[in-house]
Structure 1
Amino acid sequence: MYLKEVCLENYSSIPKAIAKGATRIELCDYLSSGGTTVSKGVMHEAADYCAEKMIPLMAIIRPRSGNFVYNDSELKIMGYDLIEARNLGLDGVVFGCLTEDNWIDEDAMEQLLEEAYGLQVTFHMAFDAIPVEKQFEAINWLADRGVQRILTHGGNSHVPIEETLPHLKKLVDYAKDRILILPGGGITNENAADIQQYLSVTELHGSKLVGEL
């Protein structure tokens, strides 16, 4: 058995996903652009429903599509959204900040981690923009600061996940018990079991992880 985190754009899909076996929900608007923060209304209703069903609820905190290099105004927006997510009763949040040269924006991340106190934190697929040779160092940095998991495809999002599995396995083995590696991107109800068995992970992520909704 493994946890199935299903990313959804709207509230109406949540009951369907849970009925089909989703065991955690991530709210993520505009999935076609990599995802942005949903409205507070969606967070509110989703939090109430998921609490009733005892299903953990996460939300991506991302003010726009594009890269993961944020200015001061964007970081303020993310901070406000983190506060709202906590106040509305969400279990966790998903975000990631990078520098122009694709390393973790340490100042921005430490600021947002403080504002996310009390919430689970997933560092999202911004991780895949970090050069491969620095990804193990990034795992160390995030684990040392209490980040719970890293959502990663293991490579370029346009490459099928079956081709990135060997690198994902290296990340999983390196992270060990310090931080969870959460594979995502192209995982469906059809290939999930094989991917989970190959990687020996406890959680998987995908919009079609429990099939079409």
Structure 2
Amino acid sequence: MAIKETTKAALEKKIRAAMAELERDGIRITNSIVREKVKTGSFRDISPIVKAIRAEKEVKAKAESQVPDMPEEIAELATAIWEGAYRCADEVAAAERQAHAKEIKELKIELADKENEVTIVESEMDEAMSRADNAEAKIVEQDLAIQGLKILVASLEGRLQGRADGSATQESNADDRQKAVVADLPGQQDMFDSSGEAPSAIASTA
């Protein structure tokens, strides 16, 4: 349907107003809704205008959201600031790294000293345990030797006691035999003293 009462420019103005109102109301813009709003024009007339307005809005929105290139002077200044900040941070980090490296080195030395002390203590403990074992072995050996000596002494005492008992028995038997021999001699009964012992002369003669 050809435009009769309004020109194309007037129709575009109405379409822009309708689209703005629809955007404010949050209504999705379509050719049908726009045509209903403007109440004039055909789809053939409205569609190209709606499309052109949409493209225009997209270009404008893109231009507004796009960040322009940084001016050369500002870029150089920002680069200098960044380099200075980086060098400062790197110097601080380097100092911290050196401090950490020194601390780690000192800790390693301390650890080595502690390990050496532990080794010495362990060696001393091993020597003390060895001496204790040797002393214990000697005590056991001495106990065994003492037991052996006790057994030997008891054996010797038993032998000596046996010999003493045997000698006493032999002497008693000899005295009895001597008395019997003397008693058999005629007229010799009075030769014994009151204790029953023979005089020493007769004993010697016999």
TM-score under structure 1 normalisation? 0.18
Structure showing greater radius of gyration is 2
Which one has a larger percent helix, Structure 1 or Structure 2? 2
Indicate the structure whose relative CO is greater, using CA pairs within 8 Å and at least 6 residues apart. 1
Which one has a larger percent strand, Structure 1 or Structure 2? 1
